[in-house]
Amino acid sequence: MLDILDESGRPTGEVAPKSEAHRLGLWHRCFHCWICGSDQGGSYLLLQRRAPTKETWPGYLDVSAAGHLAAGEETLDGLREVEEELGLRVEPERLVPLGTRRVEQEILGGRDREFHEVFLLFDDTPPEDLRLQKEEVGAVFRLYLDDVEVLYEAGAAPAREYAEGGTSATRIHLTEFVPQDEDYLERVAGAARRLLSGGRPVPVF
């Protein structure tokens, strides 16, 4: 069950099942957590490939960890998604808020209208040490920040994939991402650069 919002993001006092919210295009809240880190190759963002069994956008590339906020939950309750999907337990004070995105998109059998509460997290746990929830996450990818611009300019960029079967070098394509604002990934990458260089990112949404 989800809390239903109006088009300005204010609670209406109504609740509805997620399936109904998607079918009817009712506004609701989601939690997005982008994870950045550094290794010998440089600074990177962590992406996930959604499991092939997901109801929406199966197999697409997406934010490091994300999920719907259930009725009655506070924004930071969304941290359970990071633990469930990636096996990382994160203290709320480690999150850097990047703002709220208002998103509308057509989905199979309905329309998805969401307010995304977006956060950035520095965590340099090696991707191969993450515990992926197979029902939600098919694989994770390390995308170096220097390759984000390449991804937008060329439509593809090198990345490293980590999945149950092991790790391998690969290329990811812009067309593989869940449809988002054109500059969503770029904005998050810019915030990650500021954080990793010792600055404090300001909200970018």
Query: Is the Cβ–Cβ distance between 188 and 202 less than 8 Å?
Result: no
Which residues fall within 8 angstroms of residue 186, CB to CB, at 6 or more apart?
148, 149, 152
Q: Does residue 46 belong to any structural domain of this protein?
A: yes
pLDDT score of 200 = 87
Q: Does residue 201 belong to any structural domain of this protein?
A: no
Q: Does residue 184 belong to any structural domain of this protein?
A: yes
Does residue 180 have a pLDDT over 90?
A: no
Per DSSP, helices labelled H in 87-122 are none
For 82-93, write each residue's pLDDT tens digit: 999 999 999 999
Q: What is the DSSP secondary structure assignment for residue 123, as one 8-state letter?
A: -
**Structural domain range at position 122:** 2-196
Does residue 63 have a pLDDT over 90?
A: yes
For 98-127, write each residue's pLDDT tens digit: 999 999 999 989 999 999 999 999 999 999
Query: Is the Cβ–Cβ distance between 116 and 101 less than 8 Å?
Result: yes
Q: Does residue 41 belong to any structural domain of this protein?
A: yes
Per the structure, the count of domains in the chain is 1
Q: Does residue 205 belong to any structural domain of this protein?
A: no
Q: Does residue 78 belong to any structural domain of this protein?
A: yes
The model's pTM is 0.96
Q: Does residue 204 belong to any structural domain of this protein?
A: no
CATH (domain of 95) = 3.90.79.10
Q: Does residue 25 belong to any structural domain of this protein?
A: yes
Residue 181: pLDDT band (50, 70, 90) is: confident
Please give the average per-residue pLDDT across 122-151, as a whole number: 97
pLDDT score of 55 = 86
